[in-house]
Amino acid sequence: MKLAIGADHAGFHYKEEIKVYLENNGYELIDYGTNSPDSVDYPDFAHPVASAVESEDKDLGILICGSANGVAMTANKHQSIRAAICWTTELASLTKQHNNANIICIPARFISLELAKNIVIAFIKTNFEGGRHQRRVNKISC
């Protein structure tokens, strides 16, 4: 599975730790930045991750910022992106099962690093249920 990952300054440390964790567990990642904790603009990293997922170059995306709101809003501007903010493993599983989310957005200032890792794994390992949910997902794009 190929993953795209990106973060702003508030999510930088979590991104680095999650990246190592996933690579150590056999996942292929492309890091779209940022590459330091210096202040940056989150759209500069959310758009490339969303573009990589939208083009199907990457299977799923992971975005991290302070609240996860900015990266989610930015990624969801892309027509075929379904970016979801998750702060529990249950939400991560449900957004994949029911909404076929293709980018997970992590609020680094509000959850622990360990929980963030568990959320990402739950998201990656959960499958879309399809069925009645597919009909609903088909109605999301404008």
DSSP label at 119?
H
Active site residue 142: no
List of residues 6+ apart from 97 with CB closer than 8 A:
126, 127, 128, 129, 133
**Catalytic residue (choose from 9, 13, 47, 65):** 65
List of residues 6+ apart from 123 with CB closer than 8 A:
60, 86, 92, 93, 95, 96, 101, 104
Straight-line distance from the first to the last Cα atom of the chain, in angstroms, rounded to the nearest whole number: 28
Tokens of 114: 């360990």
Active site residue 98: yes
Number of CB atoms found within 10 A of residue 111's CB:
17
Place of tokens 């910022």: 65
Hey, which residues are catalytic here?
65, 98
